[in-house]
Amino acid sequence: MELIQKSYGDASLSRTTIFEWHKRFREGRESMKEDERSGRPTTSRTDDNIAAVDRMVKEDRNVTSRLIADTLGIPKTVVLRILREVLKKLKLCSRFVPHALTREKMDERVAACQDLLNMINGDKNFLDKVITDDESWCFVYDPETRRQSS
């Protein structure tokens, strides 16, 4: 035992593990492969389900995790785990949004800023018409019911 630990160092098995394996082989075990574990393997978190969840969220930003779960026939907890861990989405204002902006959203922001610059360059008195305060807010009205937007 000491010679093995001296030869292999940290890569060697512990004394307890060696005795455990010796006991298993003495009882008739012939393979070093792991034993089958109880319970069924996960079948919900597949690449197909991940792609389906991603597609549903992109098609309808107001889709609920319950609706996704019912549509795909997988548990709601799995849907939430896919949204958070795999797709890196975060729940804000009852909607899942990506942590980082997509290329499309960045292009939309650049276009909005360019429109503002064009308005300023086209009308020299444009800034005189702007009301300022200690904070700036931009509001875009999205005509949906109050219940959906809450």
Query: Is residue 125 one of the residues assigned to a domain?
Result: yes
CA separation (Å) from 78 to 61, 64, 139? 19, 13, 34
Considering its fold, how many domains does the chain have in total? 3
In this structure, the answer to whether residues 92 and 110 fall within a common structural domain is: no
Query: Is residue 57 one of the residues assigned to a domain?
Result: yes
- pTM higher than 0.85, yes or no? no
In this structure, the answer to whether residues 53 and 92 fall within a common structural domain is: yes
Contact present, 42 and 74 (Cβ < 8 Å): no
State the residue range of the domain holding 127: 103-149
Q: What is d(CA 50, CA 81) in angstroms, rounded to the nearest whole number?
A: 10
**How confident is the model at residue 5, as a pLDDT?**
72
In this structure, the answer to whether residues 111 and 136 fall within a common structural domain is: yes
Query: Is residue 36 one of the residues assigned to a domain?
Result: no
Q: When comparing pLDDT for 84 and 91, which is higher?
A: 84
Mean pLDDT value across the chain: 78
In this structure, the answer to whether residues 56 and 73 fall within a common structural domain is: yes
